[in-house]
Structures are given as structure tokens and as C-alpha cells.
Amino acid sequence: MTAPTKPVLLTGASGNLGRHLAKTLGDQGWRLRLTDITPFPDPLPSGASFVKADINDGVALLRQAEGCGAILHFGGVSVERPFEEVLGPNLRGLYHVYEAARREGARVIFASSNHSIGFHERPSGNAERLDYDCAFRPDGYYGLSKAYGELMGRMYWDKHGVENVNLRIGSCFPKPVDRRMLSTWLSYADLTRLCERCVLAERAGHAVIWACSDNPASYWGRDHRERIGWAPQDSAEPYRAEVGHITADPITERYQGGGFPTMEYSRATPSPRDPFALED
């Protein structure tokens, strides 16, 4: 795989996905600028540098992005947390990323999430799969911040021509660990290949990718993967016998967001499938 001609900034480099990308892309000769609020725990890949910084610090991020052709934005809060904890890194921090991209003419690859649409119900068949242009139905403050991030990308593309690819990541782990992941799992290898194509594709515009492996039970349908030339190569299906159990929680089993919709859930009955209807 050809390495990009300009350096690539990777935020959230000390997290699980960031560490994986730093190693695999670094091994391919990419010039990486790594940053995170916590120290990088691994040996630095050849050609990589690391700066400890908070993405709430716009000046620090601008300095890191100087001369970069792309920003792999994997920084910020990565699980459901109270609003005040999500606010700074996931909203203000993303603004700093896009301002840096606008100044440098860089492409943003944004680690969005399935939790931006987590209150959509699970489909009963392929005909009910969600397409990239479905309505946002976030299942918490974390998912809400990801919907905000995708909308910011839309605005920066329309207003400033900043290209961005929004990766609605399903469940990225070494292997599926529950029944839901038979639909949402993204292998580490497919993640690397996806990020490669996001950076190296000739054009991206404003794009949305369902970031999951080639899972027959996937909840998701059309997206922009052909635009960047990516197709997943792995599948959750070989793990079906290991993880085929169903949880005892009806809310977890009803919605695509799994356990996230259950957090602080207080409705007496589930909301309707049509988000604007009074009832089903």
C-alpha cells in the first residue's frame, strides 16, 4: 500500500483503536503525528512522533496539524458519559479538528459511531436495513455528540470544501463477544484497510461509511464505500456458535445501540418506530 505524501495526524492515539492504527499504518511507512491526552503506551513506530495534548486546546491541535494532508480523528470520550464530560472533547474538540483541517486543506476521517442511530430498532430482514441517509436517533449523550460531529462535517464541506469521511463504527474488537456483534462487528484489519482508503482515495467529498465487517446479519445497507474503494474482508459469522445468546433485557434486544439505550432509560413503553409518531 502506498503511503500518503503528507503526514497524517492521529488523535486519540493512546486508545485501543488509535494504538492499533499507529502500529499498522506506521509499519507501512506512514509519517504519523500522534496525539492524546494520555501518554502513548507503546514504542513509537518508525517515522512517528507523539505530543501529549488536550483536543480542547485549539492552538496545540493547530500546531500538530501543520502540513498534514489528513486527520484521523479518534480522540474524545468513547463511551456514554454525563453531558458535561462529553461536551468539551467531543464538541469543542471536534471544532478544533475542523478548524485545523480548514487551515491546512486536510481531509478529516471522523470516528463516528452506530450510537448516533442507536434508537433505531433492529431490522427483521435485509429490506429494513438502514442506509447512510437515515435519520439520526442517538441513544445517549455520546451518540448525540457523534451526530453533531457528522453534521459539522456536512457544514464544513458545504461552507469550506473540507472533505470528510464519517465512519459509523459498529463494534471494533479483536472478535465478537455477544450476539449483537454478529451484526455490528468490525475487525481490526478491516478498520486499518478502511482508514487507508479514506486517506488515499482521490476524492471523498462528504461521505458516510457503515464501518462494520462483511456480516450477513448487518443492520446497515447503502453508504459511500465505493467512492473510496473499500470493501470489508472479514466477517463475524464464523463466531456465531460462540456468541449466539440473547440477553434478558428487552430494551437491549430491541434497539441497534444494544446496552446504550438502557442507560438512564425511563420510558414506560418504547418509543414508536416513526420518530415523529405519537405511538405505533
Active site residues: 142
Give CA 19 to chain center in angstroms. 15
**Dihedral sign, Cα of residue 240, residue 261, residue 110, residue 83:** negative
Write down the residue that cell numbers 478498520 correspond to: 191
Q: How far apart are CA 54 and CA 86, in angstroms?
A: 14
